Structure 1
Amino acid sequence: MLALDPVAARLFLPFAALIGLYVSWTDLRGMRIPNASVILLALVFVILGPFVLPLDTYGMRLLHLVVMLLAGMAATAARMMGAGDAKFIAAAAPFFALSDISAVMMLLAACMLAAFATHRAAKHSPLRRLAPDWESWDRGREFPMGTALSTTLTLYLALAAFG
C-alpha cells in the first residue's frame, strides 16, 4: 500500500496524466520537454496540494521539488541527463511520498525498461512509418526519458488512487 492519500492521488491523476501524455509526445517527436509543461505540472501541485494534503506534508513536498531541481541541475551539468528530464523530475517530485521511494524506484525501473524496449522495437518496425520524422528515432544511443518519467508518475498516482 502506498503512502499517498487516495483522495489526493485521484485529484492529481487526471492533470498529471494529460500533462504526461503531452510530455511523452513532445519528447518522442523532438527530444524536448517544453518548459510550459513542466511549469504546468508544478502548478498543479502548488495549486491543488493544499486542498488535499496536510500543510506540513505539503511544505515538505515542495522541498522535494527544490532538492530534485538542484540535483537535476548537477546531473545536467555532468551530462548525465537532459535539462528537460531534470526539470520534469523536479516538477514531479512533490507528487511522491518519500516513504514510497522503494516502490517508486521499482516502478521507474519497470517503466524505463518498457519504454526503452517499446521505443527500440517500434523504431525498427513498420510502426516507424506512422511518425517518420520523430527525432527520437535517429538520436543514436539517446533515449526520450520523458516517456518513462511521465508514465512512472501516472502509474504511481493511479496505484495510489485505486490500488
Structure 2
Amino acid sequence: MENITSTILSATPLQGLVFGLLSLPICLWVAYTDLTQMKIRNEAVLALFVTFVVSGIFLMPFTEYLWRYLHLAVILAVGFGLSTIRALGAGDAKFAAAMAPFVAAGDIAEVMILFAGLLVVTWVAHRLIRMIPAVRSATPGWKSWSEPKDFPMGITLAATQLTYLGLAATQ
C-alpha cells in the first residue's frame, strides 16, 4: 500500500507554483469575506476563473487546457444541484466550479480526500475559535461567528485550492 504523501500528483510543479501564487490573494479574499459576511463575492469567483483562463493556456498542452473546462461544467452542475437543496451556498458552488479547472484529471481523488480532511479541520477550528471571547471581541460583526448552523465553506475551499497547489509545487 502506497503512502499518500509519496504519491506524485499529475499537476506539474510549475503549475502548482504559478497557479498557487496567482490563486493566493483570491483565496485569502474568499476566506475573509466568507468569514465576515458569509458570502463569496462573484468578483472573486470571476477573478479565479480569469486567472485560469489567462495563465492555464501557458502551463499545459492546449488539449488538456480545453478539457479542464469540463471540470468546471461538472462541478458547477453538481454544485447548483446541492445549492438547490440548500446543502451549500450558491457562492460555494460557483467558487468550487472556478477552482475545478486548476485540478488535473489524475488528481481528482487526491483533491477529494484533501477536501474531506480539510472540511473536518476547518469546521472544528471554526467552531472552537468562535468560542474564544478575545477572538470575538477582536472581530466584531463577523457573521460566521453567530451563524448557528451555517459554515463558511469558503475557508475550506480556499484551503483545498492552496494546499493542492502547494503540494503540486513542492513535489
Please say whether Structure 1 and Structure 2 have the same fold, judged by a TM-score greater than 0.5.
yes
State the AA in 1 paired with 2:68. Answer: R
Structure 1 window deviating more from structure 2 (26-35 vs 15-24): it is 15-24
- The runs of 4+ residues in structure 1 deviating greater than 2 Å are none
Provide the C-alpha distance between the structure 2 equivalents of 1:128 and 1:121, rounded to a whole number of angstroms.
11
Aligned to 2:64: 57
Provide the C-alpha distance between the structure 2 equivalents of 1:108 and 1:153, rounded to a whole number of angstroms.
9
Matches within 5 A, 1:1-163: 1-125=8-132, 126-163=134-171
Shift of residue 106, structure 1, vs aligned partner: 1.5
In structure 1, the residue corresponding to 2:39 is in which secondary structure? coil
Provide the C-alpha distance between the structure 1 equivalents of 2:32 and 2:69, rounded to a whole number of angstroms.
27
Aligned to 2:3: none
State the AA in 2 paired with 1:49. Answer: G
Provide the C-alpha distance between the structure 2 equivalents of 1:128 and 1:98, rounded to a whole number of angstroms.
41
Shift of residue 79, structure 1, vs aligned partner: 1.3
Provide the C-alpha distance between the structure 2 equivalents of 1:29 and 1:90, rounded to a whole number of angstroms.
22
Provide the C-alpha distance between the structure 1 equivalents of 2:148 and 2:155, rounded to a whole number of angstroms.
17
State the AA in 2 paired with 1:21. Answer: L
State the AA in 2 paired with 1:79. Answer: R
Q: Structure 2: which 5+ residue stretches go unaligned?
A: 1-7
TM-score, length of structure 1 as denominator length: 0.97
Provide the C-alpha distance between the structure 2 equivalents of 1:102 and 1:69, rounded to a whole number of angstroms.
18
State the AA in 2 paired with 1:160. Answer: A
Shift of residue 122, structure 1, vs aligned partner: 1.0
State, as a whole percentage, how many aligned pairs show the same letter.
40
Provide the C-alpha distance between the structure 2 equivalents of 1:145 and 1:81, rounded to a whole number of angstroms.
8
Provide the C-alpha distance between the structure 2 equivalents of 1:139 and 1:60, rounded to a whole number of angstroms.
38
Provide the C-alpha distance between the structure 2 equivalents of 1:113 and 1:127, rounded to a whole number of angstroms.
21
C-alpha distance after superposition, 1:31-63 (max 9, x if no partner): 000000000000000111110110111011011
Aligned length: 163
C-alpha distance after superposition, 1:67-106 (max 9, x if no partner): 2112211111121110000000000000001211221112
